Structure 1
Amino acid sequence: MWNSSAIDRRRFVKAAGLGFLAALQPRALMALERADAVYASGMRDANGSYAVATVTERGEIVDRVALPARAHGMAFSQATGKTVAFARRPGTYAMIFDAHGTTDPIVIASVEGRHFYGHGAFSPDGRILYASENDFDANRGMIGLYDATNRFARIGEFETYGVGPHDMTVTDDGRMLVVANGGIETHPDTGRTKLNLTSMQPSLTLIDSATGGLIENHALPPQWAQVSTRHVDIDDSGRIWFACQYEGHRNDLPPLVGSFAKGEDLRFVELPEETTRRLANYVGAIAVNRNDGLVGVTSPKGGVAVTIDARSGKVLSETTVPDAAGIAPATDGFAVSSYDGDFLGSRSSVAWDQHIVRIAPSRRL
């Protein structure tokens, strides 16, 4: 039987090279050789220090790179093997590293008047890194463009046509940027305080990656103006899935997950009432498993991971995961991490951060 996991593992080990493998401790090398998949995630060690870790689906840490401060989201380039850890809002750094250890990490800083929003994505060819940013004095969302062929020098910026951009991604053909504008105003002078909860304008925008021009702007309807659009992913058909966090009354039952495609209106998934209650008005991460036709979401506040059929929108499973954090496609379903050290059921002394990304060289799952 064809085993995609074994091929992923062999490709990763081959790409890593002798230098990377020789630097690993025997226990880490053994973990890598046994791994079906390899991921990257920000973490906080037991001593309080921050790092980004290369980790197997068993929760075994293969390697780690120290970070100057807490990270949030991750981005990975299939074309180049580069991984990026973005600072948590309102952080001002992003660290780019090679999981194979063939080059030294690069740390970049946001320009004056900007801070990172914790997310970004590579162009399909790996030549450009896009990062969600806040132009905080003008209260407008921006996408910073960084040249991956020139040590990630900043080469420009695009508007996101909204406020508070959080997660973003790039379509498979590289032509469009997809941005979740959460609609929440913040300013570094007030830390993480949300300044406009009574006048939010969340939206999802499609932006021309060549010109920065607005292609489509999908504002949420007025009755759901406090449903902050936060995270996005794309399925095999090109459909965009989004997840939300509600800033209204805690007893409300707002829609939290939806999808759309270019030229279509937003469509919310009609989750069962009990599922919505379990999500506790807060979806912290979303991921698509393209091979299995699944959408997965997690809620740290609800302590749950939910799997949805991408075709029917039906909830297939709900799994209790206290402090559920990151989610990424696995060979079968999803890998889920937690703030209290759980990674697919394996417990460790580290605290995994909000997001994980699969970095084993493979076709997009």
Structure 2
Amino acid sequence: MAIDSPRAEERHQRPGTTGSAVFLDKGISRRQLVLWAGGMSCPPVWAAPAQGTTLLAAWQQQDEQRIGLLAVSGAHWSVQRSLAVPTRAHGLWSEPGGGLLAVARRPGDWLLRWHPRTGKTQWHWIDGDRRFNGHVIAGAGGATLWTTETDLDSAQGMLGVREAQSLEKTDEWATHGMDPHQLLALPQPAGDLPAGTLMVANGGIPTLPETGRSKRALNRMDSSLVALDPANGALRGQWRLNDPHLSIRHLAWNPVSGTLGIALQAEHPDKTVQHAAPVLAVWDGRTLRTAEPPPALAGYGGDVCALPGGGFAVSCPRAHRLALFNATGHCTGTIEHTEAYALAANRQQWWLASSRSKAGLLHSGVSANTPPRRQAQRPGGGALQIDNHWVLPAV
């Protein structure tokens, strides 16, 4: 049944307590707590809104990290259903039938499948010598999942091959680089590569295995875009940018232009150079090149999406701007938006969230040349800090 309250968010709490906080007793592991919480899911109360758009998102609310469904309709948006997760989530993947896959932010140790309609959860915890790098996708037909991971002993990137139903790993392939991040399967041929080829962004940043996110020896950065055979992980191609201090992070395929847009994050030791660095690269199946440098955007692309009609949008939270590019990588303009981050798009419109806005403001537009709308705050108020990514439900 549909809910009529924007505050109908799922809460996990120990019997006999009040409020939303769950405290960890001595002797109870985080894993046990999460499994217990998953078993205490609320009855199915979520249904897609009759009109408008549903976005699957991750966010922080007060002291909790959550994933959930946001309904956007006209000038209003609301939380339709949500679930607390043990640490900050990063990449999300929508499954046909209503399931949602979420992965912990790197270096992460959990992978989750959640069914918002029923409240059912399925957790998977990675082995001690591996860490999730924040992204997961499903193969054609949905029988296989791929997750980007790091081997903690060697710091080398791996692609975990997983049986979708159980989430268990059945194989793993080298990504031919360090710090693999987002990946996607080509929906159509590009250059000499067939549809289905796996494209992986190797961020290339050396890190300390014991701390996960502490960067070291940036003079040894080796960022690359690789193409892997989805049948066996064989390397089909590898591309690097001329500037070794540009980390390749997030990917978006534009079916109109037949090109891949890549959000970049600069790691230059000279902060002036870093501040002016490009935030987008474009790959056409044969060559990889940086897009035209827009006005200084702090050298940090947070997320990227394909724009309807061709081109790309890149969120730049450190510059509080959204940068718009045409299909050839020419910057067509920027839009001011406080800590612009999560992006999603279909063939008609796109959405942008702020990671810090107390009003939960977002933009929606139909093309790079159409002025976006600024949505009103969600009814009932309450600050949500939308995380790096949100996605549209699978059709």
The interval holding the TM-score normalised by the smaller chain is 0.7 to 0.9
Matching of residue 271 in structure 1 with residue 290 in structure 2: no
The correspondence of residues 110-149 of structure 1 with structure 2, limited to 5 A, is: 110-148=126-164
Kindly indicate whether the alpha-carbon contact (under 8 Å) linking 2:251 and 2:261 is maintained by their aligned counterparts in 1: yes
Q: CA deviation at 1:25?
A: 4.6
Matching of residue 305 in structure 1 with residue 322 in structure 2: yes
2:393 counterpart (311, 334, 359): 359
Matching of residue 239 in structure 1 with residue 259 in structure 2: yes
Q: CA deviation at 1:157?
A: 0.9
Take 1:302 and 1:210, find their aligned partners in 2: how far apart are those partners? Answer: 41
Q: CA deviation at 1:35?
A: 4.1
Take 2:207 and 2:97, find their aligned partners in 1: how far apart are those partners? Answer: 34
2:299 counterpart (281, 284, 287): 281
Moved more, 208-217 or 251-260: 251-260
Q: What secondary structure is seen at the aligned counterpart in 2 of 1:251?
A: helix
Q: Which has the higher helix share?
A: 1
Q: What secondary structure is seen at the aligned counterpart in 2 of 1:282?
A: coil
Greater Rg over alpha carbons, structure: 2
Letter in 1 for 2:180: P
Kindly indicate whether the alpha-carbon contact (under 8 Å) linking 2:182 and 2:201 is maintained by their aligned counterparts in 1: yes
Moved more, 205-214 or 60-69: 60-69
Q: Structure 2 vs 1, CA of residues 30 and 75 (structure 1 numbering), >3 Å: closer, same or farther?
A: closer
1:324 counterpart (340, 355, 360): 340
Q: CA deviation at 1:268?
A: 1.8
Q: Structure 2 vs 1, CA of residues 59 and 305 (structure 1 numbering), >3 Å: closer, same or farther?
A: farther
Instruction: Give CA-to-partner distance per residue, 1:182-239, whole Å, 9 cap, x none.
Output: 1112234124111221110110000001010000011222xx1111111111111542
Take 1:245 and 1:169, find their aligned partners in 2: how far apart are those partners? Answer: 19
Kindly indicate whether the alpha-carbon contact (under 8 Å) linking 1:226 and 1:246 is maintained by their aligned counterparts in 2: yes
Kindly indicate whether the alpha-carbon contact (under 8 Å) linking 1:89 and 1:115 is maintained by their aligned counterparts in 2: yes
Matching of residue 195 in structure 1 with residue 210 in structure 2: no
Kindly indicate whether the alpha-carbon contact (under 8 Å) linking 1:294 and 1:333 is maintained by their aligned counterparts in 2: no
Q: CA deviation at 1:330?
A: 4.9
Q: CA deviation at 1:41?
A: 1.0
CA RMSD of aligned residues (A): 2.2
Q: CA deviation at 1:33?
A: 2.6
Kindly indicate whether the alpha-carbon contact (under 8 Å) linking 2:58 and 2:387 is maintained by their aligned counterparts in 1: yes
Q: CA deviation at 1:333?
A: 3.4
Q: Which runs of 5+ in 2 are unaligned?
A: 9-44, 189-194, 363-374
Q: Structure 2 vs 1, CA of residues 343 and 121 (structure 1 numbering), >3 Å: closer, same or farther?
A: farther
Kindly indicate whether the alpha-carbon contact (under 8 Å) linking 2:94 and 2:394 is maintained by their aligned counterparts in 1: no
Q: What secondary structure is seen at the aligned counterpart in 1 of 2:49?
A: helix
Letter in 2 for 1:258: A
The TM-score with structure 2 as length reference comes to 0.77
1:205 counterpart (213, 221, 226): 226
Name the counterpart of 2:29. Answer: none
Q: Structure 2 vs 1, CA of residues 89 and 30 (structure 1 numbering), >3 Å: closer, same or farther?
A: closer
The TM-score with structure 1 as length reference comes to 0.83
Take 1:219 and 1:187, find their aligned partners in 2: how far apart are those partners? Answer: 23
Take 2:77 and 2:271, find their aligned partners in 1: how far apart are those partners? Answer: 34
Letter in 2 for 1:296: A
Once the two structures are aligned, what percentage of the paired residues are identical? 27
Kindly indicate whether the alpha-carbon contact (under 8 Å) linking 1:245 and 1:256 is maintained by their aligned counterparts in 2: yes
Take 1:360 and 1:214, find their aligned partners in 2: how far apart are those partners? Answer: 29
Take 1:192 and 1:30, find their aligned partners in 2: how far apart are those partners? Answer: 36
Name the counterpart of 1:152. Answer: 167
Take 2:208 and 2:97, find their aligned partners in 1: how far apart are those partners? Answer: 34
Take 1:45 and 1:255, find their aligned partners in 2: how far apart are those partners? Answer: 32
Higher relative contact order (CA 8 A, sep 6+): 1
Moved more, 162-171 or 236-245: 236-245
Kindly indicate whether the alpha-carbon contact (under 8 Å) linking 2:277 and 2:298 is maintained by their aligned counterparts in 1: no
The correspondence of residues 99-114 of structure 1 with structure 2, limited to 5 A, is: 99=116, 101-102=117-118, 104-114=120-130
The correspondence of residues 159-198 of structure 1 with structure 2, limited to 5 A, is: 159-172=174-187, 175-198=196-219
Q: Structure 2 vs 1, CA of residues 271 and 220 (structure 1 numbering), >3 Å: closer, same or farther?
A: closer
Q: Structure 2 vs 1, CA of residues 156 and 358 (structure 1 numbering), >3 Å: closer, same or farther?
A: same
